[in-house]
Amino acid sequence: MHDIKKIQIDEYNYPLPEHRIARYPLAQRDASKLLVAHGKFISEDHFWKISNYLPQNSLLVLNETKVVQARLRFQNANGAAIELFVLEPHEQNLDYQLAYARSSPVIWNCLVGNSKRWKAGVLTLEIKLEEEIIVLKAARVEKKEGHSVVQFSWNKPAFSFAEVLDAAGEIPLPPYLNRKAEPSDKERYQTVFARQDGSVAAPTASLHFTPELMADIKAAGHDFAKITLHVGAGTFKPVSTAEIGDHQMHAEQIVIQKTILQQLIEAIERPIIAVGTTSMRSIESLYWLGVMVAEQGMTQRELHLPQWFPYEEHNALPDAVSVLKNLIKYLEINQLESFKATTALMIAPGYEFRIVNGLITNFHQPKSTLLLLVSALIGEQWKSAYQYALENDFRFLSYGDSCLFLP
C-alpha cells in the first residue's frame, strides 16, 4: 500500500490540446469512434460495431443513474448573479430517490458561485411548473469548507424537489466544455436508459448506446446488468497533490438490487465488462463492502467504503462468489431488496481487480483519478492508447469518443 500512495500524479499527465476536447456530441450517439486496446494491440472502429470486439458471452454492467438539472441561477437584491450547484442531500446516507421526492423545505449541500456577493438574505426565483407560478427560495444555513448548506423552499408543496429542479435548473455540463447548457444537452447529456435521479455528471461511456445498438448487442449473445452510482462533482476534481496518497477521494452513493447480485454470481465465469468508470467503481466496491460486512458484522446499516480499504492488510480474502452470496445474506438478514452504500474507493495502479475483466470508457482528463483507474486495469498501455487517439483524430472527454480496454 505504501508504494501505491507514493505514485506521482505527474506520471499520469499528457498534452491535451483544447481543440481535441469535444464541445458537442455527434448527431448520432453510436457513430462515435471506438478505440480497442486488447493487450498490446490497438485498433479502431465505430462504436456501433462494438459487439464484434467484446469477448464472447460478455455481461455489460451499465449505470442507470440520471443527471439532474443541478445548476440554479439566482440574482441577489442588487442584481448580482449567484449560482447554486446542488450536490447532495445534507442528511448523510439519505437515499437520493427519497431526497428528490421530498416536498418543501429541503436542505442540500451546494457549491456557490460568486459566493462573496451572497452576504445574507434569501434568494428567490420564479418558475413556471405545470401552468403554475412557483417561487423558489434559497437560504444559506451554514458555510462549510468547500461547500454551503442551503435550505430550499417553495410555495406549492404538492411539487417534489425533483420537479422543481427540473423546471428551474440547467443540466450541469462539465466545466471543461466552457459553454452554457443548451436545450439539446437535456437529452444528449443523459443516457437512453437513465432512470434514477441523482447524478451531477453523466456516466459518459454510456452516452454512446442507443436502444437499437443494445438490441444488437443482446442478439450477438451478450447481456446487460444495471446498477446505480450517483456521480458527484468530485469526479471532475483533478489530483492536485504530487503523490496520490494525499488526494482525498469523494464519496458517491451506490444502489444495487438483490436480483443484480444474483446475476453477477451466475455470470462470474463470463467476461464482466464495466460500461464506464462509475460501473467499474460500483462493482469493485461491492466486493470490498462484502469483505467489510463479513469482517465487521452483518447488521450494520450505514456502509461506507474508505478509499484505501482494499490496500490494507486483510485475512485470507474470499472469492467473488462467496462475497456476493454473503451480500445477499446481508440483505435477507436486514430485510432489504437492494444494497445501498457509499464508496470512496480509489482504484490506482497496484489495485487487484476482483470482479471486472474489461472496461468501456471515454478519454479522461490528464492527472485525473479516472486515468489512474484505466492504468490500474491495462498498465502502461494507457500511454500508447492515448497517443494513438491523439494522432488519429479521436475526440476527448465527456462528449468525445470511446475505448474498449481488455487487459
The answer to whether residue 173 scores a pLDDT higher than 70 is: yes
Q: Tell whether 203 and 345 lie within a shared domain.
A: yes
Is the domain of 311 the same as that of 382? Answer: yes
What range does the domain containing 112 cover?
70-169
Name the burial class of residue 124, with classes exposed (0-12), middle (13-18) and buried (19+) by CB atoms within 10 angstroms of its CB.
Answer: middle
Q: Is residue 110 part of a domain?
A: yes
When divided into structural domains, the chain yields a total of 2
The confidence score (pLDDT) of residue 121 equals 87
Tens digit of each residue's pLDDT (9 = 90 or more) over 53-85: 999 999 999 999 999 999 999 998 888 999 999
b/e code 218-249 from CB counts within 10 Å (16+ = b): eeeebebbbbbbbbbbbbbeebeeeebbebeb
Q: What digits encode the pLDDT tens for the residues 257-266?
A: 999 999 999 9
State CA 272 to chain mean position distance: 18
Regarding whether 289 and 329 lie in a shared domain, the answer is yes
Q: Which of 67-81, 140-154, 206-220, 246-260 has the highest mean pLDDT?
A: 206-220
Q: Same structural domain for residues 198 and 144? A: no
Co-location of 210 and 134 in the same domain? no
> Looking at the structure, do residues 215 and 335 belong to the same domain, yes or no?
yes
CATH number of the domain to which 28 belongs? 3.40.1780.10
Same domain, residue pair 216 and 329? yes
- Note whether 215 and 334 are same-domain residues: yes
The model carries a pTM of: 0.93
Say yes or no: 158 and 195 in one domain: no
Kindly state whether residue 121 falls inside one of the protein's structural domains: yes
